[in-house]
Structure 1
Amino acid sequence: MIDAHITETVRLHAESMEKNGALCPEVLELIHDRGLFKLFVPKEVGGRMLGLPEALQVFEDAARADGSFGWLVQIGSGAGFFATVMEPGAVRQLFAHRNFYIAGSDRPMGTARKTPGGYKINGTWPFCSGASHASLFTATCRIASDDADDGKLQAFAFTPEQVEIDEDWNAFGLKATGSHIIHVADAFVPEHHRFDVADPHFHFDHPVYHYPFQPFATANIASTAVGIARHFFEASRTHIDRKQSSWMEKTPERYDQVNRLLAEHEAAFLRAREDFYNTVESSWHSHLEGSPLEESHLDAVVGCSKIVAQAGIGGAQAVLRHLGMDVIMEDHPLNRIYRDLHVASQHGLLVDMTGEAADL
């Protein structure tokens, strides 16, 4: 699904998108044409509805083209899961648009007060990737009422007109994701735009919706890190070849030494990538056969996701230090890829329990 035309177009605009902090119209048009934000949206409402292993490969290929592009394809597609928890009428109304994209947060940082026909919402939520091009926003609130729902966590869907975007995303990587903070003040949300992410109804159904969520989400993010890492190793090889003549003049052995270092770390990364996909494939086949997924199997998916992300970021760190002064400049392509890999790998789902990370 991510062909040479998409890759070339995305990379052509990558530098300007980073400077502008958002995807450009040309790239968004390609995404909408190919339905790349709809990989987990039911076919009944115009989605692509892929199986998990196939979708992971698309996420990797998208991130291999560019980190911010890949991150948004992955995050945008993941919102397709809401089709299982929202009312069918709302799904048909909101998900069928060509430019469908949900930005939002699962952090319980809002309040919802009951009012006739729905709720009045107030809240502020950070890290809403793709906020600038979202057709819909979702966020988690705590119910404030005098009945049994008081204090209950629920999710709500808002239209773009109800949301104020505060462009605060100043991370040093994935700059074009526009992962800004959003504010909602006294917005009325009808009852049928309220949903419980822990209570799916499966009005629209597919095996991917029944796959356990944590390993699903972890694998999605890992595949994005994998794609960025592959791009880094490939771009490093191109950079080394371009530097060959100048390096040979000053330090003849440097070219071969750096090439060997690159090959060593890339090989270790590719072994971890193979283990990652094999583990996901095994769990997916068991899932399709109706076999209950054992805890050890799911732990293996999460574990391999963390290992491959670490192999990518660790290898990139080891190689970058030997690539020369050119790559420390922010406008160098390798610098951007390296920073994107750091930010994608910083997600809490990819960091071991002994480490610390801020959730994206």
Structure 2
Amino acid sequence: MLNDEHKILIKEFQSESIERKQLVKQQLELIYRNNWFNLWVPKSLGGLEVDFPQGLQFLKDLAYEDGGFAWTVTLCAGANMFAGFIDPRKAKDIWQNRAICFGGSGKIAGRAEVKEDHYLLTGMWNYATGAPHLTYFTLNAPLMKDGNPLLDANGQSIYKSFFVDKDQVLIHYDWDTFGLECTASHSFSLEKIKVPFDQAFDLVPSAKTLENPLFEIPFMCFAELTLLMNYMGMFDRFLDLLERQYFEKSKDESWRSKHSRTRFKEIDGIRTNFESSYAEIMEFSKLVWDQVENYQELDEQVLENIELKSRELAKWIRLNTAALIPYAGIKGAQRKEEINIVFRNLFTASQHGLLNV
């Protein structure tokens, strides 16, 4: 799915996207041309409908090339996956647009007043990755009726997921981070916006509106694994760049005699553990995919293993990156050096609430 031509183009516009703090038109055209935002969307809607393990491998490969670019594709493709949970007639109409891109916030915030024939949405939500090019913003909001929260049988607040046309949204250009700059993950707000009932949905397998094995995977598991692929792709690149610097440093006799053996041995050990962990997590993903493809009940133990392992790996990657970056020398501190870019992207990504432990 990712060829040499793609890699060259991604690298060519990486610096410009960082400077502009958003993906540039050439990067977006690459995504649209290859339909990457529709990685998980059914073919019936014009999507790629890739197998789960294949899609995960692609996201890791993409993150190896450019973490910010990959993060944007991951989050937007993950949101476009909502096509399987919204009104099918609405989805068919929306997916006529080759540049269709959902994205938004997983946070439950604001409020959704239930009216006679629509919802009235008000609130502010953070971190809508790809905000400048989104066609629909997604959000979660608790339901209200006559000013009172609607509660379920257990007394818990009922909430729904919504998607809202970009023209109804106010974007707050507040994404100012030292990494993942090009993801343009700005906040957005709504003020008493009317949203029809068919733009609300529930993101659970039992509420799917299209038949596809992917929609049988609990969203938490899907999110854990897709985000983890980004961490793993970026860390893989980080290790390669650091090792490349070690080879350069080895040309100096003094460095070679003092550090060569220990530094290379350390990075080899980390890489061995990394590759073993990646193989294990991919095996978990294949087990999940095999079960949903064959309409089997998902093994709860496998889901628990994914939940635990994904968080352990994200923490392990963060700690090892922090431990290794001082060995990168001054290059590790120079903003335009690739190893510094990867470092910044990794640490910004590590602040995502899902896998940050």
Gaps of 5+ in 1: 356-360
Instruction: Please say if 1:283 is aligned against 2:285.
Output: no
**Distance in 1 separating the partners of 2:191 and 2:221:** 34
Amino acid at match of 1:195: F
Q: TM-score, normalised by structure 2?
A: 0.91
Amino acid at match of 2:269: E
**Distance in 1 separating the partners of 2:255 and 2:87:** 67
After the TM superposition, which residues 34-73 of structure 1 pair with which residues of structure 2 at under 5 Å, given as runs? 34-73=34-73
**Distance in 1 separating the partners of 2:119 and 2:165:** 14
> Is the contact between residue 108 and residue 142 of structure 1 (CA under 8 Å) also seen in structure 2?
yes
Gaps of 5+ in 2: 152-157
> Is the contact between residue 9 and residue 27 of structure 1 (CA under 8 Å) also seen in structure 2?
yes
Instruction: Please say if 1:317 is aligned against 2:322.
Output: yes
What percent identity do the matched residue pairs reach? 24
Change in CA separation of 1:42 and 1:250 when aligned onto 2, cut-off 3 Å = closer
Alignment correspondent of 1:260: 265
Q: TM-score, normalised by structure 1?
A: 0.90
Once the two structures are overlaid, the 10-residue window that deviates more, 158-167 or 74-83, is 74-83
Q: May I ask how many residue pairs the two structures share in their alignment? A: 351
**Distance in 2 separating the partners of 1:148 and 1:156:** 19
In the TM superposition, what is the alpha-carbon distance from 1:293 to its structure 2 partner?
2.1
> Is the contact between residue 172 and residue 187 of structure 2 (CA under 8 Å) also seen in structure 1?
yes
Change in CA separation of 1:264 and 1:132 when aligned onto 2, cut-off 3 Å = same
Instruction: Please say if 1:225 is aligned against 2:231.
Output: yes
> Is the contact between residue 40 and residue 79 of structure 1 (CA under 8 Å) also seen in structure 2?
no
**Distance in 1 separating the partners of 2:10 and 2:36:** 13
Once the two structures are overlaid, the 10-residue window that deviates more, 51-60 or 202-211, is 202-211
Alignment correspondent of 1:194: 200
**Distance in 2 separating the partners of 1:322 and 1:315:** 12
> Is the contact between residue 38 and residue 81 of structure 2 (CA under 8 Å) also seen in structure 1?
no
Alignment correspondent of 2:241: 235
Say which SS state the counterpart of residue 348 (structure 1) adopts: coil
**Distance in 1 separating the partners of 2:146 and 2:324:** 59
Alignment correspondent of 1:180: 186
Q: After TM superposition, what 4+ stretches of structure 1 lie above 6 angstroms from structure 2?
A: none
Instruction: Please say if 1:300 is aligned against 2:310.
Output: no
Say which SS state the counterpart of residue 49 (structure 2) adopts: coil
> Is the contact between residue 205 and residue 215 of structure 2 (CA under 8 Å) also seen in structure 1?
no
Amino acid at match of 1:98: R
Change in CA separation of 1:144 and 1:90 when aligned onto 2, cut-off 3 Å = same
In the TM superposition, what is the alpha-carbon distance from 1:224 to its structure 2 partner?
1.1
In the TM superposition, what is the alpha-carbon distance from 1:243 to its structure 2 partner?
3.2
Amino acid at match of 1:19: E
CA offsets per residue over residues 25-58 of structure 1, 9 Å max, x none?
Answer: 1111000111111011111111111121111011
Say which SS state the counterpart of residue 48 (structure 1) adopts: coil
Change in CA separation of 1:155 and 1:202 when aligned onto 2, cut-off 3 Å = closer
Amino acid at match of 2:296: S
Alignment correspondent of 1:8: 8
> Is the contact between residue 242 and residue 339 of structure 2 (CA under 8 Å) also seen in structure 1?
yes
> Is the contact between residue 85 and residue 210 of structure 2 (CA under 8 Å) also seen in structure 1?
no
Once the two structures are overlaid, the 10-residue window that deviates more, 147-156 or 5-14, is 147-156
**Distance in 2 separating the partners of 1:179 and 1:173:** 11
After the TM superposition, which residues 137-156 of structure 1 pair with which residues of structure 2 at under 5 Å, given as runs? 137-146=137-146, 150=150, 152-156=158-162
Alignment correspondent of 1:358: none
Amino acid at match of 2:67: G
Instruction: Please say if 1:25 is aligned against 2:25.
Output: yes
Aligned match for 1:164, one of 163, 167, 170 = 170
Say which SS state the counterpart of residue 184 (structure 1) adopts: strand
Amino acid at match of 1:286: Q
**Distance in 1 separating the partners of 2:334 and 2:169:** 36
The Cα RMSD (Å) is 2.2
Say which SS state the counterpart of residue 172 (structure 1) adopts: coil
**Distance in 2 separating the partners of 1:38 and 1:224:** 17
Once the two structures are overlaid, the 10-residue window that deviates more, 78-87 or 56-65, is 78-87
Alignment correspondent of 2:155: none
In the TM superposition, what is the alpha-carbon distance from 1:106 to its structure 2 partner?
2.7
Once the two structures are overlaid, the 10-residue window that deviates more, 79-88 or 170-179, is 79-88
**Distance in 2 separating the partners of 1:112 and 1:26:** 37
**Distance in 2 separating the partners of 1:243 and 1:147:** 66
Alignment correspondent of 1:326: 331
**Distance in 1 separating the partners of 2:355 and 2:307:** 8
> Is the contact between residue 127 and residue 179 of structure 1 (CA under 8 Å) also seen in structure 2?
yes
Say which SS state the counterpart of residue 80 (structure 1) adopts: helix
Amino acid at match of 1:343: T
**Distance in 2 separating the partners of 1:230 and 1:250:** 24
Alignment correspondent of 2:154: none
CA offsets per residue over residues 235-269 of structure 1, 9 Å max, x none?
Answer: 22222233333x33566433443222222212221
Instruction: Please say if 1:121 is aligned against 2:127.
Output: no
Alignment correspondent of 2:102: 102
CA offsets per residue over residues 272-329 of structure 1, 9 Å max, x none?
Answer: 1111112222232233333322321111122222233334333322322212122112
Amino acid at match of 1:179: S
In the TM superposition, what is the alpha-carbon distance from 1:108 to its structure 2 partner?
2.3
In the TM superposition, what is the alpha-carbon distance from 1:341 to its structure 2 partner?
1.3
> Is the contact between residue 21 and residue 182 of structure 2 (CA under 8 Å) also seen in structure 1?
yes
CA offsets per residue over residues 39-81 of structure 1, 9 Å max, x none?
Answer: 1111111111112111101110111111111111111111133
**Distance in 1 separating the partners of 2:203 and 2:299:** 23
In the TM superposition, what is the alpha-carbon distance from 1:148 to its structure 2 partner?
10
After the TM superposition, which residues 76-115 of structure 1 pair with which residues of structure 2 at under 5 Å, given as runs? 76-115=76-115
